[in-house]
């Protein structure tokens, strides 16, 4: 398998090199080269880019991430695969040290092409999995009582877009957090992967009122370790320097949240899974130092962020009043700004961690970008409108929010797989973060503790869980090296752990199945 993959990896690098050089010369803000370069080399393997995100290939064809996982599971092993002449001291080849650990298994052959002889791994057969073969494998697994009274499923070949298996494909069910796939596609198609959200400090020259204007950056942080995200400390330092340059050391401080409209509270009510939705917040209003998952939140993230900003200004020698809500006028002079990383990075963080705060922000930003009222209902309408523009199947679909916390959301397995196939379209490179952001089985995000056996590293999927609802949608590399998109939705489940395990067994079966 390693021998089959190595020429493809070399060819991918050779063909992509001119594109990488051209795009990286565009400057430091041209961050999306890792997506656009892969798409520009049409006919090369989408799976190569997807799986490489789980860990780079080393010289022997062994994924570094796979080797690290073996070590983490106390399964000692090397990367020589038993070859003679190895000098690593980790081989069972003749001449190696007695008692040396067994070599780690080779990575699967995953460089299945998007089409054309130059992009297809030689070991992958020309024949696709068949509906009969897939039904024979998936049918019994989806009949598991743990999956409740209603289940739907679709499997599609990403390279060709051909539907290979369907059960209730157009039956709309509550999708839970797999809704975030739709939100990601809509936001990226409306704004592009390089779009950034900017928080600014503006001074009203006549009243000396300093207004902190929320630009809808859900990743703005006030912590000392920024992790590359935009931060209030930098904004305060720049603002203080500008104020002092103008001879000001005392100002009236206020904050502007008028970018969004409507209620800040999600229809589910106050919930640790989501802060009040506002275009100005720091660290998602979390009170416990966490960066993902449920947490206690502040009641008013905008006011809290502005008070923190005031503290940073004070440390820089600027005295402020107690902050209150306001609106910056068109005459206000922008003193300083900080901008989020590109939208592509926000989408990846949202999908990997199933981040509800980012999801709701992206739905509202999609509304802002398309001229729709930026409230919960408007965000849902804007997302659905973008999907319609992309020509995606919307029969029975209803989008009420960006996160999937709203039980009135309805998606189909047909739409979810169509979204994933669209994200793999060489003509839509801006959508690629939808695939690269999916959690990796056994490695990242919401799948870190799942798939500890079998399909770890080859399943990448967005999870979805509400009471009585369990869903899973993503991609899998099958036994023959083909990249398949799948969506599995279950309703009326009673045991979430058992339902998750049943869905994982189905995805694992796809990974191990040629299904012809």
- Residue ranges in 175-217 assigned as alpha helix (H): 179-191
181, 365, 509 from 502: Cα distances, Å: 21, 36, 11
Neighbours of 18 (CB within 10 A): 12
| DSSP H or E run through 146 | none
DSSP per-residue codes, 7-45: HHHHHHHHHHHHHHHHHHTT-TT-TTHHHHHHHHSTTS-
Sign of CA dihedral 73, 79, 82, 86: negative
List the structure tokens of 427.
């003509």
List the structure tokens of 418.
């169509």
Closest to 153 (Cα-Cα) out of 173, 132, 130, 182: 173
The angle formed by the CA atoms of residues 6, 10 and 16, to the nearest 5 degrees, is: 145
The angle formed by the CA atoms of residues 167, 170 and 173, to the nearest 5 degrees, is: 90
Which of helix, strand or coil describes residue 115? coil
Q: Please, what is the angle between helix 343-353 and helix 179-191, to 10°? A: 180
- Assess whether 88 carries a catalytic annotation: no
Which of 96, 254, 344, 354 is catalytic? The answer is 354
- Assess whether 321 carries a catalytic annotation: no
Rg, Å, the chain Cα set: 25
Closest to 500 (Cα-Cα) out of 421, 457, 441, 443: 441
Query: Rounded to whole angstroms, how far apart are CA atoms 306 and 310?
Result: 6
Beta 250-256 vs 209-213: how paired, if at all?
A: parallel
Which of 32, 91, 180, 400 is catalytic? The answer is 180
- Assess whether 180 carries a catalytic annotation: yes
Which of 91, 109, 177, 254 is catalytic? The answer is 177
Q: List Cβ<8 Å contacts ≥24 apart for 294-297.
A: 296/272, 297/272
- Residue ranges in 156-231 assigned as alpha helix (H): 179-191
35, 432 contact by CB (below 8 A)? yes
Residues labelled as active-site residues: 177, 180, 354
């Amino acid at each position: 398998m390693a021998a089959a993959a190595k020429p493809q990896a070399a060819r991918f690098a050779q063909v992509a090199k001119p594109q990488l050089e051209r795009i990286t010369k565009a400057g430091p803000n041209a961050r999306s080269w890792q997506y656009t370069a892969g798409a520009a080399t049409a006919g090369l393997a989408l799976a190569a880019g997807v799986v490489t995100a789980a860990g780079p290939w080393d010289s022997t064809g062994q994924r570094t991430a796979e080797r690290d996982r073996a070590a983490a599971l106390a399964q000692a092993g090397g990367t020589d695969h038993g070859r003679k002449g190895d000098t690593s001291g980790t081989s069972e080849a003749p001449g190696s040290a007695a008692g040396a650990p067994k070599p780690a298994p080779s990575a699967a052959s995953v460089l299945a092409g998007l089409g054309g002889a130059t992009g297809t791994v030689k070991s992958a057969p020309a024949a696709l999995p068949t509906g009969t073969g897939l039904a024979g494998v998936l049918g019994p697994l989806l009949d598991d009582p743990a999956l409740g009274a209603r289940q739907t499923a679709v499997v599609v070949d990403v390279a060709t877009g051909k539907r290979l298996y369907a059960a209730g494909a157009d039956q709309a069910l509550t999708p839970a957090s797999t809704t975030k796939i739709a939100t990601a596609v809509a936001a990226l198609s409306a704004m592009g992967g390089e779009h950034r959200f900017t928080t600014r400090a503006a001074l009203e020259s006549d009243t000396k009122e300093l207004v902190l204007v929320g630009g809808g950056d859900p990743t703005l942080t006030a912590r000392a370790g920024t992790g590359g995200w935009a931060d209030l400390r930098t904004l305060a330092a720049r603002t203080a320097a500008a104020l002092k340059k103008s001879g000001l050391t005392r100002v009236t401080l206020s904050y502007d949240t008028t970018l969004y409209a409507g209620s800040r509270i999600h229809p589910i009510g106050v919930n640790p899974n989501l802060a009040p939705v506002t275009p100005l917040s720091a660290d998602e209003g979390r009170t416990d130092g966490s960066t993902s998952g449920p947490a206690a939140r502040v009641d008013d993230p905008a006011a809290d962020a502005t008070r923190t900003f005031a503290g940073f200004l004070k440390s820089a020698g600027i005295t402020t009043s107690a902050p209150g809500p306001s609106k910056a006028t068109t005459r206000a002079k922008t003193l300083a700004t900080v901008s989020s990383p590109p939208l592509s990075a926000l989408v990846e963080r949202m999908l990997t961690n199933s981040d509800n705060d980012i999801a709701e922000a992206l739905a509202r930003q999609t509304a802002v970008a398309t001229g729709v009222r930026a409230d919960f209902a408007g965000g849902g309408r804007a997302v659905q409108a973008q999907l319609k523009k992309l020509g995606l199947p919307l029969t029975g679909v209803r989008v009420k929010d960006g996160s999937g916390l709203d039980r009135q959301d309805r998606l189909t397995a047909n739409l979810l797989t169509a979204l994933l196939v669209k994200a793999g379209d060489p003509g839509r490179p801006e959508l690629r973060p939808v695939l690269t952001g999916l959690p990796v089985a056994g490695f990242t995000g919401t799948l870190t503790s799942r798939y500890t056996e079998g399909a770890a590293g080859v399943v990448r999927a967005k999870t979805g869980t509400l009471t009585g609802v369990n869903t899973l949608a993503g991609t899998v590399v099958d036994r023959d090296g083909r990249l398949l998109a799948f969506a599995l939705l279950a309703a009326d489940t009673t045991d979430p752990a058992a339902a998750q395990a049943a869905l994982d067994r189905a995805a694992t079966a796809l990974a191990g199945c040629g299904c012809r």
